[in-house]
Chain A
């Protein structure tokens, strides 16, 4: 009998068994531990935490392992877990000015208070495969102990934007009060026009590849906004919470983040002196490419508020925000492999009828 759909249940079980086997790979090769992933594939873990909207390194490492290194799948796993967690409270805004900095660069001032700190970056590596890494190396032989300073906890590192702000050269960031409620896309559906809080949340969760392409397009003229990397800083910040019953704030965690503040095209008119504008990016861990792309796109999407004409998809809030999410995009693109025989059969009937009307005969 030609009923191809029979046995779906057994097929699913077998597919899961095969998947588990493939995930493990050759059993003669030692299995990856979560600690190895967390430590040695740290940037994968960072990306999964950022787009998964959950700061939990071991769980992100588990997701990477379970997803066989497919980061979009890992992000999905983490999201589906996150959505089941209770919402206990909302933290106070992070003070990135008080960051324990590991890396800090500004592309707009040669020197500035606190200096430029290169930190661990690929930026000036020569992209030559290091065949030395092919074999495990003995610990302690690395070059890190000489000259490389640890985090400069005591150094004062004012934010570059605050320095510009003091002179009025850049638009002021509207202060959000302690009671300032911010939107949450994971509770309320996105609606348009979206506030900047929700936009930034969407971009923070957005697919790095998508934002990279969108940000890149703004640089090439599709919604150009003349960006300068005002400051990129990466390091540890503390997260604090003010429980209602206590009335004072309590530090609950320290997390590593990368923040990018873009200084963009100035704005001004006959009645208003010229001022630079801002684009903002923030990501967990060291996801610097993501933070920079996010800042470019954030600025592009501020066109309405700054009175700019939207001429490119990169400036079109609905276009960008509706398509940035990798979990949504991946799902909808891939659902095309689910059965569509019914709709296709309807189309077949119609196309055959239309062709018959033209005198072409096909079997019915």
Chain B
């Protein structure tokens, strides 16, 4: 790999991406177009996140990569390997040891700390996309802060299902101004975005957009006075570590309806098990 630059991207490209990141940080929640490059992994596999990580990573960083909350899913392994190989930086699975966390679909259960950067892989950055497919239109709607359609959409859910039926990529307003799609994290993780001590960077490679939530910024999930925002919860604890109040994955263990519910955050779960927190049963 010595024929490639540190973190694969050339310095000019990194500079271009860093400029986009700076703009994104300056205007929280605003989608900044950038000259996304073809990466040696497929669009949809996290090319946006990889470009953001490649632009901010330095030799002293400690990198953690998760997919679905887990450090050992195939794509997390593959991306971690890519950076280990192209940068030689230290990698970790421990959330609090990482200076840089690239993630797909989750925010770790372990609280984040000041100085940490979380990089999200984003498939569709535009929160209004399912309501208006045209980019030329949605950019105008953002400029005019015309977000009524989103409230109407949530209201329609309430009339149809009795509640808001959006479970992931639940829309948020950042810093009281921009409507933002918090990548497809479950709404369970939305509260972790609000006034987080960590810097949150969102990269969409195929769609060529970067956006950000700077530390300590307000991130409000849309709701109504009579239908306040709620997160999902499970009636049972994690079957491996006994944690309550963590996001659980469901495994089907036989063909007779047998199920196991375990933490989606593998680092959180494994360390609770090691510390002797046993399942309640």
Contacts and interface: CB of A to CB of B under 8 A. Distances in A.
A191 B73 CA distance: 35
Interface stretch (A249-257, A287-295, A347-355): A347-355
A82 B38 CA distance: 8
B39, B43, B257, most chain A CB atoms within 10 A:
B43
B44 A331 contact: yes
A84 B77 contact: no
Given A79-B38, A318-B135, A331-B43, A346 B186 contact: yes
Contacts of A4: 251
- Give the contact-size bracket for chain A: 35 or more
A110 interface: no
A307 interface: no
B110 interface: no
A354 B208 CA distance: 37
A345 interface: yes
B74 A345 contact: no
A79 B209 CA distance: 20
Interface in B152-175: 161-163, 165, 167-168
A2 B123 CA distance: 29
B208 A346 contact: no
Interface in A42-96: 76, 79-80, 82-84, 86
A173 B165 CA distance: 53
A219 B134 CA distance: 25
Contacts of A190: 208
B188 interface: yes
Given A335-B44, A335-B45, A364-B236, A342 B206 contact: no
Nearest to B248: A345
A76 B37 CA distance: 12
Contacts of A245: none
Contacts, number: 147
Contacts of A80: 38-40
Contact of B34 (A2, A189, A328, A345): A189
Contact of B165 (A6, A187, A333, A350): A350
Given A318-B134, A349-B234, A5 B206 contact: no
Contacts of B39: 80, 83
B42 interface: yes
Contacts of A327: 38, 43
B184 A343 contact: yes
Contacts of B184: 343
A363 interface: yes
A-B interface, 9 closest residue pairs, ranked by CB to CB distance from nearest: A335-B44, A331-B43, A346-B167, A189-B208, A331-B44, A8-B74, A346-B186, A331-B42, A343-B168
- Give the contact-size bracket for chain B: 35 or more
17 contacts: A2-B251, A12-B78, A83-B38, A187-B35, A189-B33, A189-B208, A191-B135, A192-B135, A318-B136, A331-B47, A335-B42, A338-B67, A339-B68, A342-B264, A348-B250, A349-B234, A354-B163
Contact of B43 (A86, A188, A332): A332
A330 interface: yes
Interface in B114-137: 123, 133-136
A188 B253 contact: no
Interface string A178-212: 00000000111111110000000000000000000
A350 B167 contact: yes
A213 interface: no
Contacts of B236: 364
B141 to A, nearest CB: 14
Nearest to B250: A345
Interface in A313-337: 318, 322, 327-328, 330-335
A342 B69 contact: yes
A11 B74 contact: yes
B230 to A, nearest CB: 11
A357 interface: yes
A343 to B, nearest CB: 4
Interface string B239-281: 0000000011111010001011010101000000000000000
A166 interface: no
A168 to B, nearest CB: 35
Contacts of B34: 189
A39 B179 CA distance: 54
B187 A346 contact: yes
A220 interface: no
